[in-house]
């Protein structure tokens, strides 16, 4: 079934594109949520007339996304989480925590821009993808450390740091 996209849809296409999809996907998702229209003569004429406006909007969005990516290119996030002696986190670092940590630093971003293949469940150094636009993507370094292992670096054995307040015998 052919449809004309009136919104960008990840892994499918951009606004104004005519794409072939399965009828159930069009009937149950694209058409009811306003992501696409059927390719009637009127809809084709309407989307062609709106393409210039869409291209101008898209250029502004790309420029804003590039500006935000330039501001964030030197930012490194550090997380201090509770973990076992083997380095496995009791919780996980996910897209919402990354967005919250960026908000603490003064950068308000949507958690949906943070792209993790899976939540981070072990201490270590990671690269997290931030996708601001389909044409603008940034890889941000993220350091995840465990409480008591703050100075740990990848490749080092896991040893707890000495307690400063420990009573001397």
Q: Is residue 169 part of a domain?
A: no
Give the pLDDT confidence score for residue 24 in this predicted structure. Answer: 96
Regarding whether 35 and 7 lie in a shared domain, the answer is yes
State how far the Cα of 165 lies from the Cα of 149, in Å rounded to an integer: 16
Residue 66 CA, distance from chain mean position: 15
Question: What's the pLDDT tens digit per position in 29-57?
Answer: 999 999 999 999 999 999 998 988 988 98
Please say if the pLDDT value at position 164 is more than 50: no
Question: What's the pLDDT tens digit per position in 137-158?
Answer: 999 999 998 887 777 777 666 6
Q: Is residue 165 part of a domain?
A: no
Report how many domains make up the chain.
2
Please say if the pLDDT value at position 166 is more than 80: no
Q: Provide the CATH number for the domain around residue 13.
A: 3.40.5.10
Name the residue range of residue 41's domain: 2-63
The CA dihedral of 87, 89, 94, 98, to the nearest 10 degrees, is -70
Q: Is residue 118 part of a domain?
A: yes
Residue with tokens 């004429």: 45
CB contact set of 161 (below 8 Å; sequence gap of 6+): 148, 149, 150, 151
Q: Which two tokens stand for residue 89?
A: 């986190």
Question: What's the pLDDT tens digit per position in 63-117?
Answer: 999 999 999 999 999 999 998 888 888 999 999 999 999 999 999 999 999 999 8
pTM, full prediction: 0.72
Regarding whether 84 and 30 lie in a shared domain, the answer is no
State how far the Cα of 47 lies from the Cα of 56, in Å rounded to an integer: 14
CB contact set of 151 (below 8 Å; sequence gap of 6+): 161
Regarding whether 139 and 103 lie in a shared domain, the answer is yes
Regarding whether 40 and 18 lie in a shared domain, the answer is yes
Q: Is residue 155 part of a domain?
A: no
Please say if the pLDDT value at position 62 is more than 60: yes
Q: Is residue 111 part of a domain?
A: yes
Give the pLDDT confidence score for residue 154 in this predicted structure. Answer: 72
Regarding whether 59 and 94 lie in a shared domain, the answer is no
């Amino acid at each position: 079934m052919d449809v004309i996209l009136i919104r960008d849809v990840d892994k499918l296409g951009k606004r104004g594109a005519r794409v072939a999809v399965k009828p159930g996907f069009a009937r149950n998702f694209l058409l009811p949520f306003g992501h696409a229209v059927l390719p009637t003569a009127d809809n084709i004429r309407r989307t062609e007339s709106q393409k210039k406006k869409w291209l101008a909007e898209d250029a502004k969005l790309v420029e804003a996304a590039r500006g935000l990516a330039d501001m964030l290119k030197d930012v490194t996030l550090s997380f201090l989480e509770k973990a076992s002696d083997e380095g496995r986190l009791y919780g996980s670092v996910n897209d919402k925590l990354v967005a919250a940590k960026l908000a603490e630093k003064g950068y308000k971003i949507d958690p949906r821009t943070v792209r993790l293949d899976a939540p981070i469940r072990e201490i270590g150094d990671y690269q997290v993808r931030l996708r601001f636009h389909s044409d603008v993507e940034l890889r941000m370094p993220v350091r995840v450390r465990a409480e008591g292992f703050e100075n740990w670096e990848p490749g080092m054995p896991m040893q707890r740091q000495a307690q400063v307040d420990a009573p001397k015998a």
